[in-house]
């Protein structure tokens, strides 16, 4: 079984999913060490085409603190027994994937819990892949935004009404189906300016 579909992910895999939503990164971080996750974000200019941050690491921490996501690990004081980490513990931890340090002693790099795991299915439910999100929508809004942007460049003097009509025509021509209505387009267009 590939690591993307494994039952549990380590914290580096979880962080990669929350921040980037890339299956390949999750697989690459299966045996992550302390520096592997940090290295991903070091040189954005060297990222593969299409990589973009889709979330924030703080959202993972917040889900753990709020109890929306359950984690397991080994207490450093009693190794050998995998335990559920109480959500209240996460309020005292500083996430440094794949590790979590005691935030009161961050410089000392004290790890109260080691080998922390989270269920991959829980992460996938809380943070959907871009493909799933787009698939639930009736229209591909990023594609429509591109049509909008291209039309604005071609003729920046379009009124909003003219622009809507042009978007609808271009959409119909490109996708061979009915375009979004004026009332669907107008709220989206307000966010595109």
Residue 150 to residues 146, 156, 165, 177: CA-CA distances in angstroms? Answer: 6, 10, 14, 20
CA distance 126 to 60: 10
pLDDT recorded at residue 131? 55
Q: Which residues contact 190 (CB under 8 A, 6 or more apart)?
A: none
Residue 60 to residues 31, 40, 63: CA-CA distances in angstroms? Answer: 20, 17, 5
Per-residue pLDDT reduced to its tens digit, 65-115: 999 999 999 999 887 899 999 999 999 999 999 999 999 988 999 999 999
What is the pTM assigned to this prediction? Answer: 0.67
Supply the Cα-derived Rg of the chain in whole angstroms. 22
Helix (H) or strand (E) holding 190: helix 182-191
Q: Is the pLDDT of residue 136 over 70?
A: no
**Band (133; pLDDT cuts 50, 70, 90):** very low
Per-residue pLDDT reduced to its tens digit, 156-172: 898 889 999 999 999 88
């Amino acid at each position: 079984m590939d690591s993307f579909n494994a039952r549990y992910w380590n914290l580096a895999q979880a962080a990669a999913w929350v921040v980037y939503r890339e299956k390949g990164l999750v697989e690459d971080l299966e045996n992550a060490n302390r520096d592997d996750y940090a290295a991903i974000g070091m040189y954005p200019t060297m990222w593969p085409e299409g990589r973009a941050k889709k979330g924030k690491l703080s959202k993972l921490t917040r889900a753990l603190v709020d109890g929306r996501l359950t984690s397991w690990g080994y207490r450093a004081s009693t190794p050998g027994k995998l335990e559920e980490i109480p959500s209240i513990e996460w309020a005292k931890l500083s996430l440094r994937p794949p590790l979590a340090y005691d935030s009161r002693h961050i410089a000392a790099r004290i790890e109260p819990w080691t080998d922390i795991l989270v269920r991959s299915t829980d992460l996938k439910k809380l943070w959907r892949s871009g493909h799933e999100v787009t698939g639930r929508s009736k229209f591909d809004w990023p594609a429509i935004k591109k049509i909008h942007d291209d039309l604005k460049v071609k003729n920046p003097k379009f009124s909003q009404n003219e622009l809507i009509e042009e978007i609808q025509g271009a959409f119909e021509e490109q996708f061979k189906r009915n375009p979004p209505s004026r009332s669907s387009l107008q709220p989206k267009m307000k966010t595109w300016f």
